[in-house]
Structure 1
């Protein structure tokens, strides 16, 4: 049997409808019927019973289907594995994230990726605030989804995948907690809880500024290494902290409030990978994440994972 005959036979056995089979195969009207007739003539048996309203497998057709379908599926899977192996989409891909909402996107993308590349495992792990690029540089990760900006000569920053509005995390009893929104100038009246570690100054200045847009100084107080420390310190009245507004969906707790900024630019998120670490696995996963993120962007936020 020729490949086009096998495909036409198996798909017609599934659909039991000539027009739908032709549409799925992208063939002109009558082509599947002609293919099946020629196959039946060559085999010397009738494979389908046909009437103007009904298509059904004959006993011979059912036997051929039951014997042929598993073998054809194995052939297709073997070809797919060979192609994936040739492209290098095998082994293990290690992906990092810096926030829970970034992790949600990666988990969804990993599910799609595994379906397409079953011989490539995906491991997802958190990257700490205090060392945002260390795991990539230590070859502990292949790529990660993180907050921008990123301007590192040894790292490649991919396209922005999504953005989140900003908020200010304040103690529940703070005067700002009773407001509908705050402005960047309000930061001059507060003390920031910020992060410390091996972090580029431009990244700190963007997320934890030292001056307001009008040039007023912003006090930096306690610094932390882990995100959960921020929440505890703010709840204890030790300061306030900027964050993505979406953090309220994941990290709300007694003693703190999330107040939206009305004039701060959004936080942008994108993929990052070593400049010398571009592999077929990385390229394929980047394509998958971009596809999933684009699809998610077209959905209402209420339907997205929170």
Structure 2
């Protein structure tokens, strides 16, 4: 028996309808009928009882289906594993992130990715502002979801997946905490914290060196992680612009979040080392873009209304 003959027989055994089986296999109904008749001639008995109203397996057909299906599924899985290996879709993909809610976003993308590529395991790990480039360059991470533009000659920066407004995180007792909003001009009135280890252009994408009117923005202590940043703000050591979702995910009694009316949107994109780009990396980037396109709020993972 040819593999295609087995596939047609097993599909008809599931559907018990020649038209549905043909549509599922993308062949003609005549091809299904001819294949079944040929199998029946070879075996020497009917495999299906057919009337104008229904199609049912005969006892011999039912036994053949029971014997064939496990072996067929084993062969199919073996071929799929071989294809995955040949395309570089087997193994582990290690994806990092900087932030809080974006970790959940990556786990939801990974779930979609694994449904399409079950031979590839995805590991999600948090990273620090200070070391995400080192993790990529050392090969400890294959990809990274970051809140800053990356213009490094050895890195590939994917398109912006989504953006959200920034809010200013301030101590709960700060004068700004009683205001409905602040502007970039207000940044000159306090110390603004600094992420540790970022190249200058990345740092300035988060906090400009000067206000729109040209006043210098004084920088405060550095931090390596989001939790370090929040602890410094809560202790009154400075302020820092954060993504708007922080008002939901990083609620603390010692911190207030104030909308910034004139800019600093926080954009998220995937980044990977150019020399390490492979099919797994490209497929995960495509899965992330597809997830964003299908969800009005990528961080919450809400499905669009139908």
Name the TM-score, length of structure 2 as normaliser: 0.89
Deviations 1:22-52 (CA, angstroms, capped at 9, x unpaired): 2222233444334323332332222223333
In 2 relative to 1, CA 138–48 (structure 1 residues): closer, same or farther, beyond 3 Å? Answer: same
Q: Which residue does 1:218 correspond to in 2? A: 217
Q: Which residue does 2:73 correspond to in 1? A: 73
In 1, Cα distance between the equivalents of 2:29 and 2:258? 61
- Any idea what SS the aligned residue of 1:11 has? helix
**Contact 1:97–1:144 (CA<8 Å) still a contact in 2?**
yes
**Contact 1:105–1:292 (CA<8 Å) still a contact in 2?**
no
In 2, Cα distance between the equivalents of 1:190 and 1:296? 38
- Please show how residues 16-31 of structure 1 align to structure 2 within 5 Å: 16-31=16-31
Q: Which residue does 1:159 correspond to in 2? A: 159
Q: Which residue does 1:93 correspond to in 2? A: 93
Q: Which residue does 1:258 correspond to in 2? A: 257
Q: Which residue does 1:189 correspond to in 2? A: 189
Deviations 1:126-156 (CA, angstroms, capped at 9, x unpaired): 1101223111112211221112311111111
- Please show how residues 71-150 of structure 1 align to structure 2 within 5 Å: 71-150=71-150
Deviations 1:143-185 (CA, angstroms, capped at 9, x unpaired): 2111231111111111222222211112223333344433222
Name the TM-score, length of structure 1 as normaliser: 0.89
In 2 relative to 1, CA 100–22 (structure 1 residues): closer, same or farther, beyond 3 Å? Answer: farther
Which stretch shifts more, 203-212 or 231-240?
231-240
**Contact 2:295–2:302 (CA<8 Å) still a contact in 1?**
no
- Any idea what SS the aligned residue of 1:49 has? strand
Q: Which residue does 1:277 correspond to in 2? A: 276
Deviation at 1:202, TM superposition (A): 0.6
Deviation at 1:244, TM superposition (A): 0.6
1:243 partnered with 2:233: no
In 2, Cα distance between the equivalents of 1:217 and 1:157? 30
**Contact 2:81–2:119 (CA<8 Å) still a contact in 1?**
yes
- Any idea what SS the aligned residue of 2:241 has? strand
In 1, Cα distance between the equivalents of 2:217 and 2:297? 37
